[in-house]
Amino acid sequence: MSRIYLSPPHMGEQERRLLLEAFDSNWIAPLGPHVDAFERELAERVAMPHAAALSSGTAALHLALHLLGVGVGDEVLVSTLTFAASVNPIVYQGATPVLIDSEERTWNMDPDLLEEELAACAARGKLPKAVIVVDLYGQCANFDRIVPICARYEVPIIEDAAEALGSTWRGRPAGSFGTFGVFSFNGNKIITTSGGGMLVSGRADLIERARFLATQARDPAPHYEHSTVGHNYRLSNLLAAVGRGQLQVLDERVARRRENFRRYAEAFAEVDGISMMPVAEEGEPNCWLTCLSIDAAQFGASNEQVRERLAAENIEARPVWKPMHLQPVFRHCRVRGGAVAKRLFAGGLCLPSGSSLTDDDRERVVAAVLSVREMRTVA
């Protein structure tokens, strides 16, 4: 049986054509016409006027923190239910992450807990330098609440929309809710450049500075002159060409992933013990990954037993992100709440969700999931 991957790259003729054109032009560098055009096109797509194309989403988060002046001794609030890349750059800057639990309805940062934590920080006389809000699995966080709460305390938001390109909240694009938005074009994302990222902002000065820091902070001079420490974080022109091609088909990719979610939801609608990741009515997620919660007692098998069964059938599935407050490396970090993310991890499973997944493949996944229960019923 052929392998079904969780979220494989999905390339077309256009990407190939643009890549070869970039190659033939000899702009084989972390600058060039495709980098400039990719920035313009992505910025337009997410309704943020300025964008810097970077080597990864992690680099984009790192630069955002750097640009907000996050440094040694500072605190940064961040969602606990996320990938480690949301949190690691806080530590790169010598600052301390403070982890905030999820709410049930979006699986994203709980606005009530955010408010409590900010009030506690204010009472102690030390506000965080930034809040990193993650749009998990392509669903926007509750920005109706989070934006005004952060504004009240004058703490800037970095929106980690790495997984959420093409999603909206009340019609507004993911990545446009903070001082900065961050996207990833890692190989498993909804569109990919194999590796890459984008930092977007409403502020031209910040993005200009991001480009400066991302190219080793070279001061204007004929020789190499440096008055600050920089990074090597720019995106290659070859990869930007691929990104431009992918961007042209983003709507199709989103539509297909939403269809995956809808079909899985239909297939599991009557199954006791399986519930889909909730979709808040204010938003339209890109459905990057379709995630389930499995109640082992009701379903008759745990999420891990289902994952193992799928693996035996050559189908890749993954647990939901293990929360950061349960990770050995972040054990020392303060956490507000934590029980919701812990429970979502304990029962969660991400199913194959690629835009190239065929109907037959999806039916194979559904049958494999249901077969676990049937095997146990027979036993």
Ligand X SMILES: Cc1ncc(COP(=O)(O)O)c(C=O)c1O
Q: Which is nearer to ligand X, 83 or 261 (CB)?
A: 83
- AA identity, residue 100: I
Which DSSP category does 320 fall into?
A: P
The site for ligand X, by CB under 6 A, has a size of 14
CA proximity to 48, closest of 208, 215, 180, 160: 180
Instruction: Tell me how far, at minimum, the Cβ of 320 lies from ligand X, in Å.
Output: 12
83 lies in the site for ligand X, by CB under 6 A: yes
Residues whose CB is less than 8 angstroms from the CB of residue 214 and which lie 6 or more positions away in sequence, other chains included? 52, 54, 59, 63, 230, 231, 232, 233, 234
162 lies in the site for ligand X, by CB under 6 A: yes
Tell me which of 7, 80, 86, 246 binds ligand X, using CB under 6 A.
86
Instruction: Tell me how far, at minimum, the Cβ of 343 lies from ligand X, in Å.
Output: 20
- What does the alpha-carbon distance between residue 161 and residue 165 come to, in Å, rounded to a whole number? 7
Nearest residue by C-beta to ligand X?
57
Q: Give the range of 79-87, 121-129, 297-305, 357-365 binding ligand X by CB under 6 A.
A: 79-87
197 lies in the site for ligand X, by CB under 6 A: yes
CB of 183 closer than 8 Å to CB of 86: no
In the beta sheet, which residues pair with residue 184? 197
Residue 108 φ then ψ, to 5°: -100, 180
160 lies in the site for ligand X, by CB under 6 A: yes
82 lies in the site for ligand X, by CB under 6 A: yes
Tell me which of 63, 64, 134, 190 binds ligand X, using CB under 6 A.
134
x-marked contacts with ligand X along 175-194 as a string, rule CB under 6 A: ---------x-x--------
Residues whose CB is less than 8 angstroms from the CB of residue 60 and which lie 6 or more positions away in sequence, other chains included? 52, 54, 180, 182, 183, 184, 197, 198, 199
Q: Which is nearer to ligand X, 79 or 260 (CB)?
A: 79
Instruction: Spell out a b/e string for 260-293, using b for 16 or more CB atoms within 10 Å of the CB, else e.
Output: bbebbbebbeebebbbebebbeebbbbbbbbbbb
x-marked contacts with ligand X along 24-63 as a string, rule CB under 6 A: --------------------------------xxx-----
Applying CB under 6 A, which residues contact ligand X? 56-58, 82-83, 85-86, 134, 160, 162-163, 184, 186, 197
